[in-house]
Structure 1
Amino acid sequence: MAAFPPLVRSSIEEAIARAPALLERALDHAAAALEEAAESGAVFQRRDWRDAAQELRTGRSAWLRDFAPQLRQVLQQDHAPRGPRIHPSTLTLVDDDTVQQSIESSRLAQAIAGTLEQPLAELDAVMSAALGLEAITPEANPLQPERFTTALRNVLATDAAPGRTGLWMRHMARPVGDDLVAIYKAASKSLQRAGVRAAGYRLVTGAAPLMRESQPLPLERESRAAPLEPASRPSPLQGAAPPAPTPSGIGRWLGRALEAMPGPLLRDFLNGTSGPRLPARQLLDSSWDDWVAQELAQLEASEDEAPPLPVQDEQRHAHLPPLERPARVVGTGTALRPEDWGRYAAPRQRSIARSQARRQAREVGQVVGVEVVRQLVEEVARDRRLPAPVREAIVALEPALARMALHAPRFFGQQDHPARQLVEAVAERSLRFNDEWDDGFRGFLAPVRASFNALNGADAADGETLFSQSLQRLRADWSRADEAAVQRQDQVMQAVRFAEQRQAEAGRIAWDLSHRSDLDGAPALVQDFLFGPWALVLAHARLAAPAGQVDPGGYLAAITDLLWSVKPAATLKDPARAFELIPRVMLKLREGLLSVGHPDEETAQFFAGLEQLHRPVLKLRARLRKQALPPPIEPSPELAQRLAPAQPRKPAARADLWLAPREVRALGFEEAPGSVPLAADGAGPQRGEALVDAIAQGAWVDLFAKGRWRRARLVWAGSRRSLFMFASDGGEPHSMSRRSLLRLVQNGHLRLVDAHPVVQRALDALSTAQAQPLAA
């Protein structure tokens, strides 16, 4: 920190001293929020959220120890402007760690930006002066929120499962924001008490004036005039329309400002932190009205574009598997089907609606808000994770979104705004489908189309209310559609949880049985039967019976008789008892195995061996009754060895979860075929193991099951990750062992679906895009 003046170093040290308290409150708040969410969240999320909360409490002490040193390291780094950043839209299935860290950190910084706007602006001013700068330079402030969120993310990411850090940080915004407000106010006061006088903003005449919001926008000097747009990129004011007239006055300045919108300026505008670089409350003048009027006149004088190809032509690829169909290109200039979207199917009509919204604008921020809508719609339309009809629907909704921007220019930066939530909810819901020709998808799309068309035709004055009502209606429809699937999934989940609980109980029972004194001399075959199938029978009976029963079914008492019956030295001394006891034992064994649905073939060797062990006393009974026994079946050498008297053994831990055939059918259990050829895009063994270990509950996948590709979600993974259950449309279960899942991954028959929130991903992409700087 030697490069900073002493006063600035003192402010930094004070912030570092407050860091552990900031983190402590953030951890406690996030853990409580996750536990609360788990109580009311979806079934498939509850366990994951509880685990996330517990992990926060477990890692608390180590993180509190490491946070201050990590923050110091981040604050000491060189914060000069960086080179080009990776565009999030180009990320592959598994994001690069550096890119993911940047996105998670920036999301938290964006979430707290509104809370910090005023205290951060004050600190920027005094910090710039303390650094000896002539004008306010926010990026020079070493205590920018991004530095804190980066340090926080670095600490939390230590040994965290994929996706876990982002989940934690989403629940930390309020305490982190509140603590940073206190840190910024304390730093500002400390510098002011030391005699630092806040710096001011520097006026810049030219292509990108820097000004206070209270000042009028200056006209750009003709001597420094430059083209409104580079030849390699279309104008953001233009859309799909003919070339717009050359603006002048405020129109020229604003046109160049919009040209700089992709990138950090867009993010800062949505966060309300663009300040004098883009004064949102600055009134427009007549030059802007004249320009937009000319642009609108040109659009109205042109003709609508030709409609797209008929539906039959789009269906020419419907016979292909969903993952092999060529993706349709969709954008704000795409012509849509008039039968679906009415007059707004034509790009020209959407451009007219956009220009009409600009003409109604009275302030700079309203124009910028309309442009943000256009850019965001364009970015979402390029997101090929979404089915093409959903991307078209969002393109068609642009007129309603543009009118919304006149009333709330920054609404896309507000996670709780109903217009943003509607777009996000529709996009998120569409991730359930990978086939636009599927009946389920068509049933989903029809009400969405009707809702979007109604919003396009509604009165803009009631925009926020109408978006909220549309969202509520769609969610109500989705909830009703999900009821049967949720009920089916709950039943399946109860079955799989019972099976896992039974397995754990069987393990405890087997361990207790291994300490019985009468195991001594019992053949290994019999001991293994007791530790395996019979322990499952005992566990099943205990879990299924009312509480308080000591030996439900009498299956525990049968063990004493079984162990006595397999020791010929004992049975031949008391043949009368053996004659009476052996049939009863055999009947009880069959009854117990039948109670859990244990298949006969899995115990066939045990009963064959048991017959060999009982044969001496059975021969004696046959002799007394003057009957002949069937000739014995000579046991294999391996079986003969397991029939010999043995020392007491210990149960081996079972690697997989035992399921009865009826449970296998109920859970949709399927084994992946072993002879499937390796697909070109399949994962190698090492990457396959890593993916199987990392796939989180709630993750969406494309799964090739029962002869076709399905979009499914991981709803359960066993505690040892030896069994996995996915659910596809309608709640249909698809369960598989780890071995089968790994084979699917390696053969390219299971592929993760990137389910990052669509709107936030688009904002990340636009915020990190490279753009012409606004300030000269």
Structure 2
Amino acid sequence: MDDSRTQAFNASLRDALSQARDWIPRWVSKLHSALNEREVSAKSLSERQAFVQARTTLESNRDRVASRFLAALGEVLETASPDAAAGSRRFPSVSFDELELMGDDQVQETVELARVQQVVSMAVEEELAMLTALMNGAQGLTAVNPEANPLRVDVIVGALVKSLKGLQVDAAARARWLQVGAIPLGDALREMYVLLARQLERSGVKPAGYAVTQVPVGRPSMAAQKEEESVSVQEVMGDDNLLTLDHLHQLLVGNLNLNDRSQNPGNPSGSTQDNAMGSTLASEVVTLMLRRIAADERLLAPVRHMLLEMKPALLQLARSQPRFFADKENPARRLLDAITARSLAFTSERDSGFKAFLPQVHAVVRALQEPGADLAARFPKQLDLLERSQAASVAPERVQARGLAVQTLVRVEQRNLLAERVATDIRSRSDFRKAPGVVQRFLYGPWSQVVAQARLVEAAAPGTQLGQSAAQRYTDLLPDLLWSSQLALASLNRPRLVKIIPGVLRTLREGLDSIDYPREKAEAFFQALMGMHEAAYKTQRNTAPAAEENPSVPPDMDDEPWMQRREARDSCLMDDAFPMGAPPQTTTQPAFVETQRMSRDWADVKAEISSAQRTSDLPVGTWVDILQDGQAARWQITWASPHGTLFLFTGSDGRSLSMTKRGLERLLEQDRLRVVAHHGVVDAALDDVARQAWLNSAKVTGFAGL
């Protein structure tokens, strides 16, 4: 991004905060007036009292509301930057798993947030679209990415909700502030968006373009899908009973009492009605879940078609087990997960293993379609058969190779962690700092690996005598090596130098051979060391040379896990991601995006990977496409080392591939890795169901409890 666009972007954020100092107090005043109007027009005493409470509470907190809203908004904008905003991620409104853990109050707060966002978004739709295009242009984006605009509605509404939650006020009053204040908030944002857009245009910023996406034949557009969903839900539940977040939450927590029994405490049919409602809700969730899965193009079309054929069996199961899809240990849910997870391994019907996989799925579907009252018992049986078939499809030698790879990687990480502690001890020595840089790098690099390897070997074979301890001999070498490499000291005692050199060199070679250190690198170090020894020996004994004023200071220690050649082979290390013993090389291979069309913007994918690496790296189970030799291959992360420094990938045919964290980052930098799925297809489909329920909740007129 050039400086002029960066300046325009930053100026917009500063101006937005400056304008907020003016419109936020005005918004609070308009909110107060609107509450007063609602109080006057209230049709019942209880409604009037509720608005009186909301108005009086606002009167005593109006300055705090304004200041906290401004502070929360300022915190968001001050941490925004062109790079961070361009790679910002879309977070779902609420995930399926989170919903089950929420309390009723949290669900209601989520619904309130959805309604406010909807009202405000409708008020600023055109103005926000123009501002987003300009903000994206100021960030150097060529195509519009709404999530890259730090001034979007959900960010500002989120800041408002966060600021209000920090106030010690009644939740009902806070809810009425949000409800009544949504319209004036939309008016305020519309004015701000217009002014900011004009400012960017005056700065010469060109708006990013809106990409035109071709809808694949046979797959309905998102708008058509939503319309279809609304019709389906209304047919099942009635016009006034959309699948709301509250309904879904009650289903997940097992509380199917969705009717108000307090009005009919003696109604014996209440339980029957609740069961019917629970079954209806479960059926709707299954329908929406399968529809999302059928639209997921990461799965090949034949698999998606077969999954849809499972719908009658899943709907029948939902009547007796209405929460089966929420229980990840339920055989039916596990069966869906197993089929979809395996399907992610294939990118084409021509891929090896797909022809064998498809009949396995077909057999499962046929077994579930058979009539009979034992449907629930068939799911665990079919799951077991499927898992056995998939296990048998992997060659035994590849299963053994994977086991060897895991054992090797565990040992590599263990040795590297121990080597880090050894290197720290070496660097803390008083005589270390005066040694030449080449010796320092050797000691905290290869030699720390030598000592660590020896300690691990001795730990695995207890009973070694102290005098026979290789680790102790490698450590005892340090004083002589450090002394002999310092010209100022070694030249003063040539007899000692001559005496220790053979033993030092012999021990060094022995240690490096124990870790299979590359011979060419070892010889390069020995040449440098012997050059120092020769210089010290030839220096006149009676002439004490001056000490080095500026001894070489080595760079920081490299945290890249080091491997021996045999370990790299046994662990199936991806050698072009991390060449053994070589510094990072600039690849000449084409970028991923040039060889295969990506379904998502690369900036979004890269941001997701970067974010994951800042936390705990990519989770086990993640599917990725990796570009090798100009071809994209599908891999799944099936194992990660305890400290997240090493990863093992498995292909559809059971092949293994390992790489270091640095290698993974390098593939990202080279645009040679694409995330296909962070989590399961069923998980993603259920998250979409929760989001649809969230959106449906926003459509319901009024706030619950008002």
Cα-to-partner distance string for 1:103-155 (whole Å, 9 max, x where unaligned): 5542434xx8xxxxxxxxxxxxxxxxxxxxxxxxxxxxxx656248999xxxx
Contact 1:717–1:725 under 8 Å retained in 2: yes
Give the alignment partner of residue 470 of structure 1, picking from 382, 392, 401: 382
In structure 2, the partner of 1:267 is 248
RMSD over aligned Cα, in angstroms? 5.4
2:368 is aligned with 1:455: yes
Separation in structure 2 between the aligned mates of residue 573 and residue 365 of structure 1, nearest angstrom? 91
Any residues of structure 2 matched to 1:99-138 within 5 Å, and which?
99-101=92-94, 105-109=98-102
> Does the residue aligned with 1:275 lie in a helix, a strand or coil?
coil
Offset of residue 541 of structure 1: 0.9
In structure 2, the partner of 1:213 is none
The higher radius of gyration belongs to 1
In structure 1, the partner of 2:575 is 670
> Does the residue aligned with 2:478 lie in a helix, a strand or coil?
helix
Which one scores higher on RCO, CA 8 angstroms, separation ≥ 6? 2
Any residues of structure 2 matched to 1:506-585 within 5 Å, and which?
506-514=419-427, 516=429, 522-545=435-458, 546-547=461-462, 550=466, 551-552=469-470, 554-563=473-482, 565-566=484-485, 581-585=500-504
Distance 1:462 1:568, change over 3 A: closer
In structure 2, the partner of 1:697 is 619
Partner amino acid, structure 2, of 1:712: W
Contact 1:522–1:563 under 8 Å retained in 2: yes
In structure 2, the partner of 1:129 is none
Offset of residue 388 of structure 1: 2.1
Offset of residue 670 of structure 1: 3.1
Contact 1:259–1:771 under 8 Å retained in 2: no
Contact 2:290–2:308 under 8 Å retained in 1: yes
2:563 is aligned with 1:659: yes
> Does the residue aligned with 2:633 lie in a helix, a strand or coil?
strand
Partner amino acid, structure 1, of 2:502: P
> Does the residue aligned with 2:374 lie in a helix, a strand or coil?
helix
Separation in structure 1 between the aligned mates of residue 292 and residue 604 of structure 2, nearest angstrom? 33
Distance 1:521 1:415, change over 3 A: closer
In structure 2, the partner of 1:502 is 415
Offset of residue 435 of structure 1: 3.5
Partner amino acid, structure 1, of 2:603: A
In structure 1, the partner of 2:172 is none
In structure 2, the partner of 1:386 is 299
Separation in structure 2 between the aligned mates of residue 773 and residue 562 of structure 1, nearest angstrom? 76
Distance 1:454 1:689, change over 3 A: closer
Separation in structure 1 between the aligned mates of residue 231 and residue 442 of structure 2, nearest angstrom? 77
Separation in structure 2 between the aligned mates of residue 588 and residue 714 of structure 1, nearest angstrom? 40
Offset of residue 530 of structure 1: 2.5
Partner amino acid, structure 1, of 2:259: G
> Does the residue aligned with 2:587 lie in a helix, a strand or coil?
coil
Offset of residue 692 of structure 1: 4.1
Contact 2:406–2:648 under 8 Å retained in 1: no
Stretch of structure 1 that moved more, 389-398 or 466-475: 466-475
Partner amino acid, structure 1, of 2:347: N
Give the alignment partner of residue 633 of structure 2, picking from 693, 710, 731: 710
In structure 2, the partner of 1:96 is 90
In structure 2, the partner of 1:741 is 665
Offset of residue 753 of structure 1: 1.7
Contact 2:288–2:689 under 8 Å retained in 1: no
Offset of residue 469 of structure 1: 1.9
Any residues of structure 2 matched to 1:235-274 within 5 Å, and which?
257=237, 263-264=243-244, 267=248, 270=251, 272-274=256-258
Give the alignment partner of residue 437 of structure 1, picking from 338, 350, 353: 350
Separation in structure 2 between the aligned mates of residue 467 and residue 712 of structure 1, nearest angstrom? 28
Contact 1:525–1:642 under 8 Å retained in 2: no
Separation in structure 2 between the aligned mates of residue 595 and residue 643 of structure 1, nearest angstrom? 35
Separation in structure 2 between the aligned mates of residue 594 and residue 684 of structure 1, nearest angstrom? 46
Offset of residue 772 of structure 1: 13
Distance 1:642 1:564, change over 3 A: same
Contact 2:331–2:380 under 8 Å retained in 1: yes
Contact 1:510–1:651 under 8 Å retained in 2: no
Partner amino acid, structure 2, of 1:669: M
Any residues of structure 2 matched to 1:342-421 within 5 Å, and which?
373-405=286-318, 407=320, 412=325, 417-421=330-334
Offset of residue 438 of structure 1: 1.9
Separation in structure 1 between the aligned mates of residue 95 and residue 282 of structure 2, nearest angstrom? 25
Distance 1:768 1:93, change over 3 A: farther
Distance 1:267 1:600, change over 3 A: same
Separation in structure 2 between the aligned mates of residue 108 and residue 757 of structure 1, nearest angstrom? 21
Offset of residue 563 of structure 1: 4.2
Contact 1:102–1:150 under 8 Å retained in 2: no
Partner amino acid, structure 2, of 1:552: A
Any residues of structure 2 matched to 1:204-353 within 5 Å, and which?
257=237, 263-264=243-244, 267=248, 270=251, 272-275=256-259, 281=272
Contact 1:537–1:592 under 8 Å retained in 2: yes
Distance 1:260 1:485, change over 3 A: farther
Separation in structure 2 between the aligned mates of residue 590 and residue 732 of structure 1, nearest angstrom? 33
Stretch of structure 1 that moved more, 270-279 or 693-702: 270-279
Give the alignment partner of residue 146 of structure 1, picking from 107, 112, 131: 107
Distance 1:449 1:691, change over 3 A: same
Instruction: Return 5+ residue gaps in structure 1 as ranges.
Output: 10-72, 74-91, 113-142, 152-229, 239-252, 284-361, 621-640
Contact 1:716–1:725 under 8 Å retained in 2: yes
Offset of residue 264 of structure 1: 2.0
Contact 1:270–1:413 under 8 Å retained in 2: no
Separation in structure 1 between the aligned mates of residue 283 and residue 432 of structure 2, nearest angstrom? 81
Partner amino acid, structure 2, of 1:267: L
Distance 1:664 1:417, change over 3 A: closer
Partner amino acid, structure 2, of 1:263: L
Offset of residue 594 of structure 1: 1.2
Contact 1:721–1:738 under 8 Å retained in 2: no
Offset of residue 456 of structure 1: 0.9
In structure 2, the partner of 1:683 is 603
Offset of residue 615 of structure 1: 3.0
Offset of residue 725 of structure 1: 4.7
Partner amino acid, structure 2, of 1:464: A
Aligned-residue sequence identity (percent) comes to 27
In structure 2, the partner of 1:601 is 520
Stretch of structure 1 that moved more, 701-710 or 566-575: 566-575
Contact 1:521–1:567 under 8 Å retained in 2: yes
Instruction: Return 5+ residue gaps in structure 2 as ranges.
Output: 1-34, 40-44, 51-67, 69-85, 113-223, 262-268, 540-544, 578-585, 595-600
Contact 1:561–1:585 under 8 Å retained in 2: yes
Offset of residue 665 of structure 1: 3.3
Partner amino acid, structure 2, of 1:693: R
In structure 1, the partner of 2:529 is 610
Separation in structure 2 between the aligned mates of residue 378 and residue 663 of structure 1, nearest angstrom? 46
In structure 2, the partner of 1:592 is 511
Partner amino acid, structure 2, of 1:671: D
Partner amino acid, structure 1, of 2:651: S
Separation in structure 2 between the aligned mates of residue 405 and residue 515 of structure 1, nearest angstrom? 65
